[in-house]
Structure 1
Amino acid sequence: MEDTKHASYRTTAATVIKNLKRRNMEGYYCGTSEEAVELVRSMIPAGDSITWGGTSTFTETGVKAALEQGDWRMIDRTTATTPEEKREMWRDRTSADWFFMSANALTVDGELVNIDGNSDRLSLLLHGPEHVIVLVGMNKLVADVDAGFKRVRTIACPLNAARLHTNTPCEVAGVCSECHSERCMCCQMVVTRHSRHEGRIKVILIGESLGY
Protein backbone atom coordinates (compact mmCIF):
# COMPACT_ATOMS: atom_id res chain seq x y z
CA MET A 1 0.00 0.00 0.00
CA GLU A 2 1.34 3.44 -0.94
CA ASP A 3 2.05 5.95 1.81
CA THR A 4 0.37 9.35 1.76
CA LYS A 5 3.27 11.14 0.07
CA HIS A 6 3.55 8.72 -2.81
CA ALA A 7 -0.21 8.50 -3.26
CA SER A 8 -0.23 12.30 -3.53
CA TYR A 9 2.67 12.21 -6.02
CA ARG A 10 0.74 9.78 -8.21
CA THR A 11 -2.38 11.99 -8.17
CA THR A 12 -0.40 15.15 -8.97
CA ALA A 13 1.57 13.37 -11.69
CA ALA A 14 -1.70 12.32 -13.37
CA THR A 15 -2.65 15.99 -13.66
CA VAL A 16 0.76 16.95 -15.04
CA ILE A 17 0.64 14.10 -17.57
CA LYS A 18 -2.74 15.30 -18.79
CA ASN A 19 -1.33 18.81 -19.25
CA LEU A 20 1.75 17.50 -21.05
CA LYS A 21 -0.50 15.70 -23.52
CA ARG A 22 -2.24 18.99 -24.29
CA ARG A 23 1.22 20.37 -25.13
CA ASN A 24 1.99 17.45 -27.49
CA MET A 25 4.38 15.79 -25.04
CA GLU A 26 4.07 12.32 -23.54
CA GLY A 27 4.07 11.93 -19.78
CA TYR A 28 4.70 8.91 -17.55
CA TYR A 29 4.86 8.36 -13.81
CA CYS A 30 7.15 5.91 -12.01
CA GLY A 31 7.06 5.59 -8.25
CA THR A 32 10.73 4.63 -8.04
CA SER A 33 13.95 4.90 -10.01
CA GLU A 34 13.85 1.13 -10.54
CA GLU A 35 10.48 1.47 -12.27
CA ALA A 36 11.90 4.27 -14.42
CA VAL A 37 14.81 2.06 -15.49
CA GLU A 38 12.44 -0.68 -16.62
CA LEU A 39 10.21 1.79 -18.46
CA VAL A 40 13.16 3.32 -20.33
CA ARG A 41 14.55 -0.08 -21.28
CA SER A 42 11.16 -1.06 -22.70
CA MET A 43 10.99 2.07 -24.86
CA ILE A 44 14.27 1.86 -26.76
CA PRO A 45 14.75 -0.65 -29.59
CA ALA A 46 17.98 -2.65 -29.63
CA GLY A 47 20.75 -1.04 -31.64
CA ASP A 48 19.48 2.54 -31.28
CA SER A 49 21.94 5.32 -30.46
CA ILE A 50 21.73 7.14 -27.13
CA THR A 51 23.31 10.35 -25.87
CA TRP A 52 22.74 12.68 -22.93
CA GLY A 53 23.37 16.15 -21.58
CA GLY A 54 24.65 17.30 -18.21
CA THR A 55 22.27 15.46 -15.88
CA SER A 56 22.80 14.02 -12.41
CA THR A 57 19.36 12.40 -12.53
CA PHE A 58 20.37 10.19 -15.46
CA THR A 59 23.09 8.68 -13.23
CA GLU A 60 21.26 8.79 -9.88
CA THR A 61 18.31 6.77 -11.15
CA GLY A 62 20.52 4.02 -12.54
CA VAL A 63 19.20 4.63 -16.05
CA LYS A 64 22.66 5.40 -17.45
CA ALA A 65 24.21 2.24 -15.96
CA ALA A 66 21.34 0.09 -17.23
CA LEU A 67 21.67 1.42 -20.77
CA GLU A 68 25.44 0.96 -20.77
CA GLN A 69 24.88 -2.75 -20.15
CA GLY A 70 22.37 -3.17 -22.97
CA ASP A 71 22.44 -3.54 -26.73
CA TRP A 72 22.55 0.17 -27.54
CA ARG A 73 25.16 2.52 -28.99
CA MET A 74 26.13 5.01 -26.31
CA ILE A 75 27.48 8.35 -27.54
CA ASP A 76 29.39 9.86 -24.61
CA ARG A 77 30.56 13.43 -25.20
CA THR A 78 33.24 13.15 -22.51
CA THR A 79 35.23 10.69 -24.61
CA ALA A 80 36.05 13.35 -27.24
CA THR A 81 39.39 15.04 -26.50
CA THR A 82 40.55 16.92 -29.60
CA PRO A 83 38.64 19.72 -31.38
CA GLU A 84 38.16 17.40 -34.37
CA GLU A 85 36.75 14.61 -32.19
CA LYS A 86 34.43 17.06 -30.46
CA ARG A 87 33.04 18.31 -33.80
CA GLU A 88 32.49 14.73 -35.00
CA MET A 89 30.90 13.84 -31.66
CA TRP A 90 28.51 16.78 -31.98
CA ARG A 91 27.38 15.59 -35.40
CA ASP A 92 26.76 12.11 -33.99
CA ARG A 93 24.87 13.47 -31.01
CA THR A 94 22.56 15.72 -33.01
CA SER A 95 21.50 12.72 -35.10
CA ALA A 96 21.13 10.32 -32.14
CA ASP A 97 17.94 8.29 -31.82
CA TRP A 98 17.52 9.16 -28.14
CA PHE A 99 18.63 12.08 -25.98
CA PHE A 100 18.40 12.01 -22.16
CA MET A 101 18.29 15.01 -19.87
CA SER A 102 16.54 16.29 -16.79
CA ALA A 103 14.80 19.64 -16.31
CA ASN A 104 15.58 22.42 -13.87
CA ALA A 105 11.86 22.65 -13.19
CA LEU A 106 8.54 21.34 -14.51
CA THR A 107 5.32 23.28 -14.00
CA VAL A 108 2.07 21.62 -12.98
CA ASP A 109 0.70 22.90 -16.28
CA GLY A 110 3.30 20.87 -18.20
CA GLU A 111 5.97 23.44 -19.14
CA LEU A 112 9.67 22.58 -18.99
CA VAL A 113 11.83 25.32 -17.45
CA ASN A 114 15.57 25.18 -18.09
CA ILE A 115 18.76 27.23 -18.01
CA ASP A 116 22.07 26.44 -19.67
CA GLY A 117 25.57 27.82 -19.94
CA ASN A 118 27.23 26.19 -22.95
CA SER A 119 23.75 25.32 -24.26
CA ASP A 120 24.75 21.79 -25.27
CA ARG A 121 21.83 20.29 -23.34
CA LEU A 122 19.20 22.75 -24.50
CA SER A 123 20.37 22.65 -28.11
CA LEU A 124 19.56 18.94 -28.26
CA LEU A 125 16.26 19.39 -26.46
CA LEU A 126 15.16 21.98 -29.00
CA HIS A 127 16.33 20.26 -32.17
CA GLY A 128 18.18 17.18 -33.39
CA PRO A 129 17.68 13.76 -31.78
CA GLU A 130 14.54 11.90 -32.82
CA HIS A 131 13.40 11.28 -29.24
CA VAL A 132 14.03 13.22 -26.02
CA ILE A 133 13.47 11.65 -22.60
CA VAL A 134 13.31 14.08 -19.68
CA LEU A 135 13.76 12.40 -16.27
CA VAL A 136 12.24 14.56 -13.52
CA GLY A 137 12.09 13.93 -9.77
CA MET A 138 8.93 15.18 -8.10
CA ASN A 139 11.09 17.67 -6.16
CA LYS A 140 11.34 19.72 -9.37
CA LEU A 141 7.61 20.27 -9.76
CA VAL A 142 6.60 23.95 -9.43
CA ALA A 143 3.43 26.00 -9.65
CA ASP A 144 4.30 28.05 -12.74
CA VAL A 145 7.12 29.38 -14.94
CA ASP A 146 8.04 32.19 -12.53
CA ALA A 147 8.35 29.65 -9.73
CA GLY A 148 10.46 27.53 -12.06
CA PHE A 149 13.00 30.27 -12.65
CA LYS A 150 12.95 31.09 -8.93
CA ARG A 151 13.79 27.45 -8.25
CA VAL A 152 16.68 27.67 -10.72
CA ARG A 153 18.13 30.74 -9.02
CA THR A 154 17.68 29.63 -5.41
CA ILE A 155 18.24 25.87 -5.61
CA ALA A 156 19.52 24.49 -8.92
CA CYS A 157 22.23 27.03 -9.78
CA PRO A 158 23.89 27.31 -6.34
CA LEU A 159 24.02 23.51 -6.01
CA ASN A 160 25.28 22.95 -9.55
CA ALA A 161 27.82 25.77 -9.16
CA ALA A 162 29.18 24.10 -6.03
CA ARG A 163 29.34 20.77 -7.88
CA LEU A 164 31.06 22.21 -10.96
CA HIS A 165 33.21 24.85 -9.14
CA THR A 166 32.17 27.65 -11.49
CA ASN A 167 33.38 30.48 -9.23
CA THR A 168 30.18 32.35 -10.12
CA PRO A 169 28.30 34.43 -7.53
CA CYS A 170 25.85 31.58 -7.01
CA GLU A 171 28.78 29.44 -5.83
CA VAL A 172 30.66 32.11 -3.92
CA ALA A 173 27.63 33.69 -2.19
CA GLY A 174 25.12 30.88 -2.62
CA VAL A 175 22.57 33.11 -4.35
CA CYS A 176 22.01 34.26 -7.93
CA SER A 177 23.02 37.81 -8.82
CA GLU A 178 22.04 37.62 -12.52
CA CYS A 179 25.75 37.74 -13.30
CA HIS A 180 27.73 38.03 -16.52
CA SER A 181 30.61 35.95 -15.17
CA GLU A 182 32.94 34.01 -17.44
CA ARG A 183 31.30 30.71 -16.46
CA CYS A 184 27.75 32.02 -16.12
CA MET A 185 25.30 29.11 -16.12
CA CYS A 186 22.25 31.19 -17.03
CA CYS A 187 23.23 32.16 -20.59
CA GLN A 188 20.10 30.61 -22.05
CA MET A 189 16.75 30.54 -20.23
CA VAL A 190 14.24 28.40 -22.08
CA VAL A 191 10.60 27.50 -21.53
CA THR A 192 9.30 24.58 -23.55
CA ARG A 193 5.56 25.20 -23.69
CA HIS A 194 4.68 22.98 -26.66
CA SER A 195 6.28 20.34 -28.87
CA ARG A 196 5.53 20.68 -32.58
CA HIS A 197 6.50 17.03 -33.13
CA GLU A 198 4.03 14.67 -31.47
CA GLY A 199 5.62 12.20 -29.08
CA ARG A 200 9.18 13.48 -29.53
CA ILE A 201 9.48 14.73 -25.95
CA LYS A 202 8.69 12.18 -23.26
CA VAL A 203 8.68 13.30 -19.62
CA ILE A 204 9.11 10.62 -16.96
CA LEU A 205 8.08 11.86 -13.53
CA ILE A 206 9.68 9.88 -10.70
CA GLY A 207 8.36 9.80 -7.13
CA GLU A 208 11.72 10.64 -5.56
CA SER A 209 13.91 13.66 -4.89
CA LEU A 210 16.48 13.61 -7.69
CA GLY A 211 19.10 15.89 -9.19
CA TYR A 212 19.51 19.59 -8.45
Structure 2
Amino acid sequence: MEEKMMKRIEKTMDRLRANQMAAYYVETKEEVVPLLKTLMNEGETVTHGGSVTLGECGVIDMLNSGDYNYLDRSKAQSPEEVEEIYRKAYFADTYLASANAVTEGGLLYNVDGNSNRVSAILYGPKQVVFICGCNKLVKDLDEAVMRLKSVAAPQNTKRLNCDTYCAKEGECLAMGNDASYMCDGCMSPARICCNYVISARQRHKDRLKVIFVGEELGY
Protein backbone atom coordinates (compact mmCIF):
# COMPACT_ATOMS: atom_id res chain seq x y z
CA MET A 1 0.00 0.00 0.00
CA GLU A 2 1.47 3.38 -1.05
CA GLU A 3 1.94 5.88 1.76
CA LYS A 4 -0.26 8.47 0.03
CA MET A 5 -3.17 6.04 -0.32
CA MET A 6 -2.76 4.84 3.27
CA LYS A 7 -3.01 8.43 4.52
CA ARG A 8 -6.19 8.92 2.47
CA ILE A 9 -7.70 5.76 3.96
CA GLU A 10 -6.75 6.79 7.51
CA LYS A 11 -8.30 10.23 6.96
CA THR A 12 -11.47 8.65 5.59
CA MET A 13 -11.71 6.23 8.50
CA ASP A 14 -11.46 9.15 10.93
CA ARG A 15 -14.28 10.94 9.10
CA LEU A 16 -16.43 7.81 9.06
CA ARG A 17 -15.99 7.43 12.82
CA ALA A 18 -16.88 11.09 13.29
CA ASN A 19 -20.06 10.29 11.37
CA GLN A 20 -20.93 7.51 13.85
CA MET A 21 -19.81 4.68 11.54
CA ALA A 22 -17.27 2.05 12.56
CA ALA A 23 -14.20 1.75 10.34
CA TYR A 24 -11.57 -0.98 9.98
CA TYR A 25 -8.59 -1.66 7.73
CA VAL A 26 -7.01 -4.89 6.52
CA GLU A 27 -4.10 -5.16 4.13
CA THR A 28 -5.34 -8.10 2.04
CA LYS A 29 -8.63 -9.70 1.04
CA GLU A 30 -7.62 -12.87 2.90
CA GLU A 31 -7.92 -10.92 6.17
CA VAL A 32 -11.55 -9.95 5.59
CA VAL A 33 -13.19 -13.19 6.74
CA PRO A 34 -11.25 -13.41 10.05
CA LEU A 35 -12.25 -9.82 10.83
CA LEU A 36 -15.87 -10.44 9.85
CA LYS A 37 -16.02 -13.39 12.23
CA THR A 38 -15.22 -11.04 15.10
CA LEU A 39 -18.14 -8.81 14.12
CA MET A 40 -20.70 -11.62 13.74
CA ASN A 41 -21.93 -14.42 16.00
CA GLU A 42 -22.39 -18.01 14.89
CA GLY A 43 -26.04 -18.84 14.31
CA GLU A 44 -27.13 -15.31 13.53
CA THR A 45 -29.15 -14.46 10.44
CA VAL A 46 -27.04 -13.02 7.65
CA THR A 47 -27.68 -11.98 4.07
CA HIS A 48 -26.14 -9.62 1.53
CA GLY A 49 -26.61 -7.47 -1.52
CA GLY A 50 -25.25 -8.32 -4.93
CA SER A 51 -21.48 -7.88 -4.78
CA VAL A 52 -18.42 -9.05 -6.68
CA THR A 53 -16.26 -7.97 -3.74
CA LEU A 54 -17.85 -10.43 -1.31
CA GLY A 55 -17.02 -13.33 -3.61
CA GLU A 56 -13.45 -12.16 -4.11
CA CYS A 57 -12.88 -12.03 -0.35
CA GLY A 58 -14.26 -15.50 0.38
CA VAL A 59 -17.26 -14.14 2.26
CA ILE A 60 -19.79 -16.23 0.34
CA ASP A 61 -17.84 -19.39 1.18
CA MET A 62 -17.87 -18.34 4.83
CA LEU A 63 -21.65 -17.90 4.77
CA ASN A 64 -22.05 -21.34 3.20
CA SER A 65 -20.04 -22.96 6.00
CA GLY A 66 -23.17 -23.74 8.01
CA ASP A 67 -22.17 -21.50 10.91
CA TYR A 68 -24.84 -18.92 10.08
CA ASN A 69 -28.51 -18.75 9.17
CA TYR A 70 -27.70 -17.61 5.64
CA LEU A 71 -30.54 -16.14 3.60
CA ASP A 72 -29.21 -17.14 0.17
CA ARG A 73 -31.23 -15.78 -2.72
CA SER A 74 -29.21 -17.81 -5.22
CA LYS A 75 -31.00 -20.93 -3.96
CA ALA A 76 -34.48 -19.49 -4.48
CA GLN A 77 -36.65 -21.53 -6.85
CA SER A 78 -38.81 -18.67 -8.12
CA PRO A 79 -38.95 -14.86 -8.36
CA GLU A 80 -41.44 -14.94 -5.50
CA GLU A 81 -38.91 -16.74 -3.26
CA VAL A 82 -36.27 -14.15 -4.15
CA GLU A 83 -38.65 -11.37 -3.13
CA GLU A 84 -39.36 -13.17 0.14
CA ILE A 85 -35.64 -13.29 0.92
CA TYR A 86 -35.36 -9.58 0.14
CA ARG A 87 -38.08 -8.89 2.71
CA LYS A 88 -36.56 -11.21 5.32
CA ALA A 89 -33.33 -9.23 5.00
CA TYR A 90 -34.90 -6.44 7.05
CA PHE A 91 -34.88 -8.75 10.07
CA ALA A 92 -31.29 -9.95 9.59
CA ASP A 93 -28.68 -9.56 12.30
CA THR A 94 -26.06 -8.67 9.70
CA TYR A 95 -26.35 -7.39 6.14
CA LEU A 96 -23.18 -7.53 4.04
CA ALA A 97 -22.48 -5.36 1.02
CA SER A 98 -19.92 -3.26 -0.75
CA ALA A 99 -20.32 0.44 -1.51
CA ASN A 100 -20.26 2.12 -4.89
CA ALA A 101 -18.00 4.79 -3.39
CA VAL A 102 -16.70 6.11 -0.07
CA THR A 103 -15.70 9.78 0.11
CA GLU A 104 -12.76 11.15 2.04
CA GLY A 105 -15.32 13.20 3.96
CA GLY A 106 -16.82 10.03 5.43
CA LEU A 107 -19.89 9.61 3.22
CA LEU A 108 -21.11 6.37 1.64
CA TYR A 109 -22.57 6.57 -1.87
CA ASN A 110 -24.79 3.75 -3.13
CA VAL A 111 -27.02 3.52 -6.19
CA ASP A 112 -29.40 0.65 -6.97
CA GLY A 113 -31.90 -0.47 -9.54
CA ASN A 114 -33.93 -3.09 -7.71
CA SER A 115 -32.99 -1.30 -4.48
CA ASN A 116 -33.11 -4.22 -2.05
CA ARG A 117 -29.54 -3.29 -1.07
CA VAL A 118 -30.05 0.42 -0.44
CA SER A 119 -33.29 -0.18 1.44
CA ALA A 120 -31.51 -2.58 3.82
CA ILE A 121 -28.72 -0.05 4.26
CA LEU A 122 -31.26 2.55 5.35
CA TYR A 123 -33.31 0.46 7.75
CA GLY A 124 -33.86 -3.04 9.06
CA PRO A 125 -30.78 -5.19 9.69
CA LYS A 126 -29.15 -4.72 13.08
CA GLN A 127 -25.84 -3.96 11.39
CA VAL A 128 -24.65 -3.38 7.84
CA VAL A 129 -21.03 -4.21 7.06
CA PHE A 130 -19.45 -2.85 3.88
CA ILE A 131 -16.30 -4.43 2.44
CA CYS A 132 -14.57 -1.93 0.18
CA GLY A 133 -11.42 -2.18 -1.87
CA CYS A 134 -9.21 0.92 -2.01
CA ASN A 135 -10.53 1.57 -5.52
CA LYS A 136 -13.86 2.60 -3.97
CA LEU A 137 -12.25 5.59 -2.22
CA VAL A 138 -13.00 8.96 -3.85
CA LYS A 139 -12.31 12.58 -2.97
CA ASP A 140 -15.91 13.82 -2.75
CA LEU A 141 -19.46 13.27 -3.97
CA ASP A 142 -18.72 14.69 -7.41
CA GLU A 143 -16.03 12.06 -7.85
CA ALA A 144 -18.39 9.41 -6.45
CA VAL A 145 -20.98 10.29 -9.10
CA MET A 146 -18.35 10.11 -11.84
CA ARG A 147 -17.11 6.76 -10.54
CA LEU A 148 -20.63 5.33 -10.64
CA LYS A 149 -21.27 6.55 -14.18
CA SER A 150 -17.89 5.59 -15.64
CA VAL A 151 -16.91 2.46 -13.70
CA ALA A 152 -19.45 0.82 -11.40
CA ALA A 153 -22.62 1.04 -13.49
CA PRO A 154 -21.05 0.03 -16.83
CA GLN A 155 -19.25 -2.98 -15.35
CA ASN A 156 -22.28 -4.11 -13.35
CA THR A 157 -24.65 -3.84 -16.30
CA LYS A 158 -22.25 -6.00 -18.31
CA ARG A 159 -22.08 -8.52 -15.46
CA LEU A 160 -25.87 -8.63 -15.21
CA ASN A 161 -26.40 -8.66 -19.00
CA CYS A 162 -28.53 -5.51 -18.89
CA ASP A 163 -29.55 -3.88 -22.15
CA THR A 164 -28.36 -0.37 -21.32
CA TYR A 165 -26.28 2.32 -22.99
CA CYS A 166 -23.48 2.02 -20.42
CA ALA A 167 -23.21 -1.75 -20.92
CA LYS A 168 -22.60 -1.19 -24.63
CA GLU A 169 -20.53 1.99 -24.54
CA GLY A 170 -18.66 1.64 -21.26
CA GLU A 171 -19.98 4.84 -19.69
CA CYS A 172 -23.26 6.50 -18.79
CA LEU A 173 -25.21 8.29 -21.50
CA ALA A 174 -25.08 11.42 -19.34
CA MET A 175 -21.28 11.57 -19.41
CA GLY A 176 -21.39 13.54 -22.66
CA ASN A 177 -23.54 16.25 -21.08
CA ASP A 178 -21.50 19.07 -19.53
CA ALA A 179 -24.46 19.95 -17.28
CA SER A 180 -25.08 16.36 -16.18
CA TYR A 181 -26.73 15.83 -12.80
CA MET A 182 -26.30 12.93 -10.39
CA CYS A 183 -29.52 11.22 -11.49
CA ASP A 184 -29.21 11.81 -15.25
CA GLY A 185 -28.94 8.72 -17.42
CA CYS A 186 -30.63 6.44 -19.90
CA MET A 187 -34.32 5.60 -20.22
CA SER A 188 -33.78 1.84 -20.55
CA PRO A 189 -36.19 -0.45 -18.67
CA ALA A 190 -33.04 -2.33 -17.57
CA ARG A 191 -31.46 0.77 -16.00
CA ILE A 192 -29.76 -0.07 -12.68
CA CYS A 193 -29.39 3.53 -11.46
CA CYS A 194 -32.82 4.24 -9.98
CA ASN A 195 -32.42 5.12 -6.31
CA TYR A 196 -29.52 7.17 -4.94
CA VAL A 197 -28.51 6.97 -1.27
CA ILE A 198 -25.91 9.04 0.57
CA SER A 199 -25.14 7.92 4.11
CA ALA A 200 -23.82 10.77 6.27
CA ARG A 201 -23.72 11.11 10.06
CA GLN A 202 -25.70 8.25 11.58
CA ARG A 203 -28.21 8.37 14.42
CA HIS A 204 -27.46 4.77 15.46
CA LYS A 205 -23.76 4.63 16.29
CA ASP A 206 -21.75 1.90 14.53
CA ARG A 207 -24.77 0.27 12.88
CA LEU A 208 -22.92 0.92 9.62
CA LYS A 209 -19.43 -0.52 9.52
CA VAL A 210 -16.84 -0.14 6.76
CA ILE A 211 -13.93 -2.52 6.21
CA PHE A 212 -11.30 -1.05 3.89
CA VAL A 213 -9.05 -3.52 2.09
CA GLY A 214 -5.63 -2.47 0.83
CA GLU A 215 -6.20 -3.78 -2.69
CA GLU A 216 -8.63 -3.23 -5.54
CA LEU A 217 -11.83 -5.26 -5.31
CA GLY A 218 -15.08 -5.35 -7.24
CA TYR A 219 -16.44 -2.51 -9.32
1:192 paired residue among 162, 187, 199: 199
Which one-letter code corresponds to 1:24 in the other structure? Q
Q: Normalising to structure 1: TM-score of the pair?
A: 0.93
1:156 paired residue among 148, 152, 155: 152
- Conserved in 2, the CA contact under 8 Å of 1:6 and 1:207? no
How much is the aligned-residue C-alpha RMSD, in angstroms? Answer: 1.4
Matches within 5 A, 1:35-54: 35-54=31-50
Q: Normalising to structure 2: TM-score of the pair?
A: 0.90
Q: Provide the secondary structure at the position in 1 that maps to 2:209.
A: strand
**Matching of residue 118 in structure 1 with residue 114 in structure 2:** yes
Corresponding position of 1:201: 208
Q: Provide the secondary structure at the position in 2 that maps to 1:149.
A: helix
1:31 paired residue among 16, 27, 31: 27
Q: Provide the secondary structure at the position in 2 that maps to 1:161.
A: helix
Gaps of 5+ in 1: none
Q: Give the 3 Å change call, closer, same or farther, for CA 84–209 of structure 1 in structure 2.
A: closer
Distance in 1, matches of 2:62 and 2:4, equals 28
Distance in 1, matches of 2:218 and 2:69, equals 25
Distance in 2, matches of 1:82 and 1:158, equals 27
Corresponding position of 2:84: 88
Instruction: Tell me by how many angstroms 1:83 deviates.
Output: 5.2
2:11 paired residue among 15, 20, 26: 15
Q: Give the 3 Å change call, closer, same or farther, for CA 13–130 of structure 1 in structure 2.
A: same
Which one-letter code corresponds to 2:217 in the other structure? L
Q: Provide the secondary structure at the position in 1 that maps to 2:131.
A: strand
- Conserved in 2, the CA contact under 8 Å of 1:110 and 1:193? yes
Q: Deviations over 1:180-203 (max 9, x none)?
A: 210111101111112211110000
Instruction: Tell me by how many angstroms 1:140 deviates.
Output: 1.0
**Matching of residue 77 in structure 1 with residue 73 in structure 2:** yes
Instruction: Tell me by how many angstroms 1:9 deviates.
Output: 3.7
- Conserved in 2, the CA contact under 8 Å of 1:131 and 1:200? yes
Gaps of 5+ in 2: 174-184
Which one-letter code corresponds to 1:134 in the other structure? F
Distance in 1, matches of 2:86 and 2:100, equals 23
Aligned residues: 208
Percent same amino acid among aligned pairs? 39
